[in-house]
Amino acid sequence: MQITLTVNGTEYTRDVEPRMLLVHFIRDELLLRGTHWGCDTSNCGTCTLWVDGEPVKSCTMLAVMADGRAIRTVEGLANGAELDPIQQGFIECHGLQCGFCTPGMMMTGRWLLDNNPNPSEGEIRECISGQICRCTGYKNIVSAIQWAAEHPATSEVTS
């Protein structure tokens, strides 16, 4: 099947098998390898990206279902050389160790702040509760999102 979709502002048209998962399409067809894969059951959330402005676990969606939609991945967070505050927050607060869950966590964190600029700790924890991190014990991820909330100045980014 032929699909056309926008990823990080660029339009792509590709022939894909109807059964191909969106996460595999993004990684293997578009070679955007910042989106990771971690489980088969939509539990880990390392494949989280945005579809039409909403965070989605891209292993739960077929690539053909993204036809005509706008995708945003971790590669679309920074504005050129300028990092998004959520990215800077993860650096400032040691919000990552192995880096594998990080793209998904940042996509969810960015979405939360766009919809709730001053979330409580509890709201942050609940928002990332569909995603697993094995390294950080979450404390510094929460701090990273809080840091980004406190430094919104440069948050104007493409989507």
Q: In the complex, which residues of this chain contact another protein (CB under 8 A)?
A: 17, 19-20, 24, 27, 31-41, 43-44, 46, 73-75, 77-78, 83, 87-88, 90-92, 94, 96-103, 106, 121, 124-126, 128-142
- Dist. CA 10–CA 119, nearest whole Å: 31
Nearer to another protein, 69 or 76 (CB): 76
Nearer to another protein, 34 or 68 (CB): 34
Minimal distance, residue 43 CB to another protein, in Å: 4
Minimal distance, residue 92 CB to another protein, in Å: 7
Nearer to another protein, 82 or 150 (CB): 82
Minimal distance, residue 63 CB to another protein, in Å: 12
Nearer to another protein, 68 or 120 (CB): 120
